[in-house]
Structure 1
Amino acid sequence: MKILVLGAGLLGTSSAWYLRAAGHDVTVIDRQPAAALETSFANGGQISVSHAEPWANPHVLPRLLKWLGRRDAPLLWHWRADPAQWAWGLRFLRECLPGRTQANIAAILGLALYSRERLQVLRAELGLEYDQLQRGILHIYTDHDELAAAMKAAHLMARHGLDREMLDAQACLVIEPALAGAGSLLVGGDYTASDESGDACRFTQALAERAAAAGVVFRHGVHVDRIATGGGRVAGVLVHDADGASLETADAYVVALGSYSPLLLRPLGLSLPICPAKGYSATLTLANEASAPSVSITDDERKLVFSRLGNRLRVAGTAEFNGYDLTLDPVRCQALIDRTQQLFPDLQIVGEPEFWCGLRPATPSNVPVIGRSRLPNLWLNTGHGTLGWTMACGSGAALADLVDGRRPAPEFPFLRG
């Protein structure tokens, strides 16, 4: 079957790989000059199954009140005259109910565990190198109430097969000595030894190279204008590039355009509960690697992650809801550096930080949208929010199974059309 994949980020490239491995004739189109140059470019670098607890949970509501009006808040909501944004916000509040949060954790965890396994198999088969580290993820807490809430989440995840080891502050310093300068701030943590980290952009581009060698056609610099339909199916995709406009046709189509997926699908009467959540990152080049953490760290209070990528330290996180705006806010950029200096006062870097922001496709529940749409030849793989790197390989493998009529391995609410 001839399949056209829209988007060459983590999800589009992984979808293309597994579809090609299943024997399909696959073409990927993307507006950028190479793979992974948008949301997948400079994310936090964590393959973090341990972060299966969604933003929407009963404990977030007091935080939202505390963060109101702060430009450097971990979650910043800009009120806009946008009905879709308001509807998303109301659904987010509904997902904070305890029962819904527990169901969402189970769904996210099932796919994330499967995806990490697929990544490990793929890495071994292809010999991929992307500054990967298998040293686990250490989640640190500076608030006793948040630590108590984390213990409850850890117990729930343990029932679904993930071991998050709860730690006191001293044990956190044993796992990551680079935190010694911030030891007085810590009240405890949890550690998931099976989690990993690595450069998502390097991985995606390496996988795209292998996919191209296996026969996947990547067409870059191609802009998607709209999807044409006829007879209750997709008839083609209207695109344009430097040579002009054209209609691209295939037997099946996969939309993996992240935050831009709803904009493309809305004219078809397909409404996706996805809102762009702008995340920030700073990449620091290390002058002295011994002063930097070697274990990937999540800072619960500021919603930041710290990942070693070779001789670089990636600091990333937060969520700013401001439509499709990609302007770097200097206040939010500086907040990344301030917290880094607070946690790692002895850190030595070379040159200036490289700041970046990208739009993560967030659903209210943090559960992505994967499967067949109500148009029988249109498939979706989007809405992964902050866990696109964690879920990419599993989502691509599961989508290929669905396209071929097989039931995917993980227990997950896949779309059935």
Structure 2
Amino acid sequence: MRKIAVIGAGITGITTAYALLNRGFEVTVFDKNRYAAMETSFANGGQLSASNAEVWTQWSTIFKGIKWMTQRGAPLLVNPKPSWHKYSWMAEFMSNIPNYKANTIETVQLAISARDLLRGHAAAEGFDFDLEQRGILHVYDCKPDFDKAAKVNDLLAEGGLERHAVTPSEMQKIEPALQGDLYGGYYTESDFTGDIHSYAKGLGAACKRRGVVFHYGAQVASLTKHSTGVDVGWSDKSGKVSDHFDGIVICAGVRSRDLAAQVGDRVNIYPVKGYSITVQMDDDASRGAAPWVSLLDDKAKIVTSRLGPNKFRVAGTAEFNGYNKDIRDDRIAPLVKWVENLFPDISTEHAIPWAGLRPMMPNMMPRVGAGRSPQVFYNTGHGHLGWTLSAATAEIVADNILQASQKNSFQFAG
């Protein structure tokens, strides 16, 4: 048998387990939570958005961060409290600004390939995740922002994505519920939305049916390399446990940095907090007023998804504030206000707030592939695009492991 341990049962861990399973590996998944996708993969914006693949490594991001530092409700907020990890990460972020174009194009290409894989997995395994294939509409309220989006559109096109400009009247036809004084937009018909938590649960259940072993409520405490594999030590309700695996894949979100250090790798992930609200629409007026087409307001950095008839997900903001998952009212309030301004007939009486930590690399690219040890692999650091990219990067890392096994780069048990 070829035993592989996957550390983490978020969207990247579950898709990785599925990709390994389909290549004939014996897979065991560990997660500290009782269920799949309970952290960053729990309540994100819902967009599977190749059209949002532009990386953040630009000087404009730096300038906006400085400008917004004192505005508690700003789309990007940086806690100025000194932190070596935070400021060294930011320095590395700035060093990647020259790679902005190449990384954006590569991200688009990954996103396009991931979309078909995600839909294909759900169809093959027969589970629902509130899929809405109605495209994504980027909206702009002024000419300068619209013109800037035209330049981004050229990069998206280089990556193979078709996204076209639309007038306010065309926007109204695409999404009749859209209100407000808008200058124009860009529409990506091939993008779509879905519930990431439902997807991870559905694919995880399919993996379990087909033989993947899941250890939930298992806190992985130690990773010990050997010439023949890796010992994984964890604790659960039965106590401390250890097992030997031929290889491991670290898909542990913001904890990946610490786990990587145990096996001699530097994976410079920083936790960038994002917020969302899930508006429970219990009345006909709200359901009728909410958009079905997914929206992205570039200025406010807010995205929306319709998750079935009764739920409207609104997400956004980025907060550099360490490993802090506190839900702050001053970060939730702009999301609620945005809904009330653009869709005044939606009742926000029952808006459930959430915050999660995006695992973000300073080059804005996921860490995918082998580590320094031939027994250690990574599929982590996807930042705000884990839902969008996970299925593609899972295939890449699973192929890497298969190739390594075929070349006898590391020994398998049995």
Structure 1 and Structure 2 fold alike (TM over 0.5): yes
Q: What is aligned with 2:314?
A: 315
Q: What is aligned with 2:108?
A: 109
How far residue 159 of structure 1 moved from its aligned partner, in angstroms, is: 2.1
Q: What is aligned with 1:87?
A: 88
Quick one: which of 267, 272, 292 aligns to 1:294? 292
Secondary structure in structure 2 of the residue aligned to 1:270: coil
CA distance in 2, matches of 1:37, 1:318: 20
Secondary structure in structure 2 of the residue aligned to 1:239: strand
Q: What is aligned with 1:179?
A: 178
Residue 122 of structure 2 is aligned to residue 126 of structure 1: no
Alignment RMSD, CA only? 1.5
Residue 215 of structure 2 is aligned to residue 216 of structure 1: no
**Aligned residue pair count:** 399
Confirm or deny: 8 A CA contact 2:107 2:365 kept in the other structure.
yes
Task: Normalising by structure 1, report the TM-score.
Answer: 0.92
Paired AA for residue 49 in structure 1: A
Q: Measured at CA, do residues 127 and 164 of structure 1 come closer, stay the same or move farther in structure 2, by a change above 3 Å? A: same
Confirm or deny: 8 A CA contact 1:234 1:375 kept in the other structure.
no
Q: What is aligned with 1:272?
A: 267
1:16-95 aligned at under 5 Å gives the runs 16-95=17-96
Q: Measured at CA, do residues 65 and 86 of structure 1 come closer, stay the same or move farther in structure 2, by a change above 3 Å? A: closer
How far residue 173 of structure 1 moved from its aligned partner, in angstroms, is: 1.9
Q: What is aligned with 1:159?
A: 158
CA distance in 2, matches of 1:70, 1:147: 24
Secondary structure in structure 2 of the residue aligned to 1:177: coil
Confirm or deny: 8 A CA contact 1:143 1:301 kept in the other structure.
no
Paired AA for residue 352 in structure 1: H
CA distance in 1, matches of 2:83, 2:223: 23
156-165 or 32-41, larger mean C-alpha shift: 156-165
CA distance in 1, matches of 2:18, 2:365: 22
Q: Share of identical aligned residues, percent?
A: 38
1:245-260 aligned at under 5 Å gives the runs 245-260=240-255
CA distance in 2, matches of 1:81, 1:366: 22
How far residue 189 of structure 1 moved from its aligned partner, in angstroms, is: 1.1
Secondary structure in structure 1 of the residue aligned to 2:149: helix
Confirm or deny: 8 A CA contact 1:227 1:234 kept in the other structure.
no
How far residue 89 of structure 1 moved from its aligned partner, in angstroms, is: 0.5
Q: What is aligned with 2:359?
A: 361
Residue 186 of structure 2 is aligned to residue 190 of structure 1: yes
CA distance in 1, matches of 2:197, 2:82: 34
Gaps of 5+ in 2: 405-414
CA distance in 2, matches of 1:29, 1:223: 8
How far residue 82 of structure 1 moved from its aligned partner, in angstroms, is: 2.4
Q: What is aligned with 1:413?
A: none
Gaps of 5+ in 1: 407-417
Secondary structure in structure 2 of the residue aligned to 1:367: coil
How far residue 365 of structure 1 moved from its aligned partner, in angstroms, is: 2.3
1:317-332 aligned at under 5 Å gives the runs 317-332=316-331
Confirm or deny: 8 A CA contact 1:119 1:393 kept in the other structure.
yes
Confirm or deny: 8 A CA contact 1:275 1:361 kept in the other structure.
yes
366-375 or 66-75, larger mean C-alpha shift: 66-75
CA distance in 2, matches of 1:177, 1:61: 36
Confirm or deny: 8 A CA contact 1:291 1:348 kept in the other structure.
no
How far residue 339 of structure 1 moved from its aligned partner, in angstroms, is: 1.0
CA distance in 1, matches of 2:170, 2:152: 20
Confirm or deny: 8 A CA contact 1:306 1:314 kept in the other structure.
yes
CA distance in 2, matches of 1:373, 1:80: 32
How far residue 84 of structure 1 moved from its aligned partner, in angstroms, is: 1.8
106-115 or 138-147, larger mean C-alpha shift: 138-147
CA distance in 1, matches of 2:144, 2:363: 23
How far residue 94 of structure 1 moved from its aligned partner, in angstroms, is: 2.6
Paired AA for residue 141 in structure 2: T
292-301 or 282-291, larger mean C-alpha shift: 282-291
CA distance in 1, matches of 2:92, 2:138: 28
CA distance in 1, matches of 2:161, 2:194: 20
Secondary structure in structure 2 of the residue aligned to 1:38: coil
Paired AA for residue 359 in structure 1: L
How far residue 373 of structure 1 moved from its aligned partner, in angstroms, is: 0.3
CA distance in 1, matches of 2:294, 2:200: 20
